Structure 1
């Protein structure tokens, strides 16, 4: 089940919100006293619906997730209660988590590598559980934060299960640190403003996914899948730019929907995107893209390895090798990670030292050209197809431009314009203009809420119309 699904939008989500509302009443009237505010009923509903949400597509692997949570629950308690062996317990917990993700995500890849080297081994045919990369990394961050005493240990298994299985961010992130939501598991309240902001953010994400990403995917598939063997240079650029926009609106749309749903329930997840295509270096790009993954590797890999203090270049390459591996068990992801690792490392010693002396427009063009080329590596897990694409991308083809390319541009003119426009910080700019023009007057509130209602209703109607009969609706990052 995915958020941009008619069943989720019109059956699962309304049913959840109704049950959650009833649970809120139960907490307030039956389970709370004057001194405390209970969330027990709401938490129970959230856990139940989260398990249903995950089991809907993969009923077997819900037991794997439950096993992972139980293991990490016991390891967390062991770290908290033991002073002498807490480091050893942490290491055991990390090994178990890495073993789980390694078995289901990388065992087949390593077996294939051995076969390619002439060492015949059996290749296991193991399906990849949805979201395993996200909930495993959340489990790892929980154990390390408990070990560092940066977060309290969770003594109730259902509450740790709530943290890891929470359906808004379960299958495609963002990677939520336990410390971010630890207090809100037991102490959260939702007012009308929270619910309104959360619902609006959810619908903005829905629009990004259905109205923009899904339509852009048809253009990228037209050139990079169906038309790869007859690709022109212009077609290669059109296809990969469409994918560049598609993956941004797809993943940032999911993050918006996750953050919005969390807000509706009283959780405040950290931002995961900050207009990455407005970057002025590759280093800047990765500070803006998938922020939760970047901060995970920074805090749990880069800094422990020595960070900027010792062997900085090696540390950067290790982090980016692991970043590529995290995205998938395929050589193209490893190459993609090393590609960006080398650029980030070189920028540390070159570009960033003279960054302020270079015109911003040249920095932006430089950054986007490298980002677009990087998405070309990311897209193709078949090296023969990748070679065909990059030959066309760099002009090593007989035809530069044809009628198909022209049609893709002109027939989708407004899609291109709107997609490029919404890569900019539109909401921030509009908010600043509104504050300047209207200040804190009652008119400002009326204008904001009226425009939000109109935009939200429009997005919901148009998205529903586009989803009827849609065949290409999966989120890209559910593969990871």
Structure 2
């Protein structure tokens, strides 16, 4: 709680109130008034999420509509510039999952408010996930096992996550931001592709880095948080991509939105409709902007196409072609995710496919330094499980020299931690991408 209060100050009242409402709602559900308790929880959580995250978006669009109709926009603009509380998208989803699980009978309502408030405000994953369900750590809240091995594992995971962020993601961001800041009519196709590939690496290592740090801190405190990423860029279909990318969010939407809508229990048409609803909400969850909605629906379209039979074709194709299909589709989708407006997104995509080979040499000399080029190669290497397999091979091959291998491993971890700290000392403020969601 102190961690959150330090950054958000008086807005800590909102998360405390959220904890009180959902704690009480679960007790109401368990006392027999199931629908009332669930309704209170959902209305409250969605209410604060809609107001703090989406009121500015809704009323700015309303103001634009009124302006186009030559009507007054004074009242519509009153809801603009609403402050966005840190982590609100994550802790509202966590507390809603708790009351829904109590409603469904998957967990018992907590009788100890301190334990429940600890779950809501657990600082390692509070700001940007992974989304932890109450049933995952219910026992650990009261009976954790702390050990040297678990603490050591946590430190290792934290160091890896920090290196992902400071060494890889930030350097990729430097290149991506430089490309996206260029006028699109001055951008060559090669620069456009270079920029979006850099951003693809940035967002993966930025977010997976935070998840690794959160999981590592959790282990240091005796908590085992769920995994959030599993090499998504090696997927052979968009469906598989969403089983590997931001897994806790994907499972949340599957269990609490898709299944609640009926899932695939109805006709094919209703299933496709449910999928579009889920991906519309997924896009909107990521940000109050039409670009995020288009990004979500873009994924929804390909999920439906694959369910219509394209997945069977993908299974028969060589893996290389399936991988190329996924990487190409995901890369195009990231343009909408990164762009400020839909117009900017389409202008960037147009630049990608104009096949103008003239490149701004001065730009490349400034942004694509030898250091950045090496980082891009490392990003490519660590986005596939080749290093993991290589590590397993070395461990097996030299299993008689485990002490020497362990020393080398710790030396590598200490080295990347020192390098990460050096980057922190010279870098300007550069928060994790998902902090704003």
Place the TM-score, normalised by the shorter chain, in its bin: over 0.9
State the shift of 1:416 in Å: 1.4
Specify the alignment match of 1:13 in structure 2.
none
CA contact (8 A) 2:28 2:36 kept: no
Aligned counterpart for 2:427 among listed residues 470, 475, 478? 470
Figure out how many residues of one structure are paired with residues of the other and give that number: 424
State the shift of 1:384 in Å: 3.5
Aligned counterpart for 2:37 among listed residues 81, 89, 93? 89
Could you tell me how far apart the structure 2 residues matched to 1:99 and 1:64 are? 12
CA contact (8 A) 1:279 1:367 kept: yes
Could you tell me how far apart the structure 1 residues matched to 2:126 and 2:22 are? 16
Could you tell me how far apart the structure 2 residues matched to 1:435 and 1:452 are? 11
Deviates more, 1:52-61 or 1:242-251: 52-61
Could you tell me how far apart the structure 1 residues matched to 2:176 and 2:246 are? 22
State the shift of 1:126 in Å: 0.8
Specify the alignment match of 1:250 in structure 2.
206
Structure 2 counterpart SS, 1:183: coil
CA contact (8 A) 2:98 2:134 kept: yes
Structure 1 position 456 matched with structure 2 position 413: yes
Could you tell me how far apart the structure 2 residues matched to 1:426 and 1:260 are? 22
CA contact (8 A) 2:238 2:326 kept: yes
Aligned counterpart for 2:216 among listed residues 232, 245, 260? 260
Provide the TM-score with structure 1 as the length reference: 0.85
State the shift of 1:385 in Å: 2.4
Aligned counterpart for 1:414 among listed residues 371, 374, 390? 374
Structure 1 position 393 matched with structure 2 position 352: yes
Aligned counterpart for 1:122 among listed residues 76, 87, 97? 76
Specify the alignment match of 1:402 in structure 2.
360
Deviations 1:110-153 (A, max 9, x none): 11222222263332221101100000000110100111111121
CA contact (8 A) 2:336 2:342 kept: no
Deviations 1:263-285 (A, max 9, x none): 11111111100000111111111
Specify the alignment match of 2:397 in structure 1.
437
Could you tell me how far apart the structure 1 residues matched to 2:385 and 2:363 are? 29
Could you tell me how far apart the structure 2 residues matched to 1:200 and 1:426 are? 19
Specify the alignment match of 2:383 in structure 1.
423
CA contact (8 A) 1:255 1:272 kept: yes
Specify the alignment match of 1:69 in structure 2.
19
Could you tell me how far apart the structure 2 residues matched to 1:69 and 1:400 are? 56
Structure 1 position 378 matched with structure 2 position 337: yes
Deviates more, 1:418-427 or 1:137-146: 418-427
Deviations 1:368-410 (A, max 9, x none): 01100000010112233223312211217x6543314653556
Specify the alignment match of 1:156 in structure 2.
112
Deviations 1:220-268 (A, max 9, x none): 0111025555211111111111000000000000000000110111111
State the shift of 1:306 in Å: 1.6
Could you tell me how far apart the structure 2 residues matched to 1:369 and 1:189 are? 44
Could you tell me how far apart the structure 1 residues matched to 2:21 and 2:45 are? 9
Could you tell me how far apart the structure 2 residues matched to 1:381 and 1:421 are? 30
Structure 1 position 315 matched with structure 2 position 274: yes
CA shift in 2, pair 1:414/1:69, >3 Å:
same
State the shift of 1:435 in Å: 4.8
Pairs within 5 Å for 1:127-146: 127-146=83-102
CA shift in 2, pair 1:204/1:103, >3 Å:
same
Pairs within 5 Å for 1:217-256: 217-226=173-182, 228=184, 230-256=186-212
Q: Which structure 2 residue ranges, 5 or more long, are not aligned? A: none
Aligned counterpart for 1:210 among listed residues 166, 169, 192? 166
Query: After the TM superposition, which parts of structure 1 deviate over 4 Å for at least 4 consecutive aligned residues?
Result: 226-229
Could you tell me how far apart the structure 2 residues matched to 1:264 and 1:388 are? 46
CA contact (8 A) 2:381 2:387 kept: no
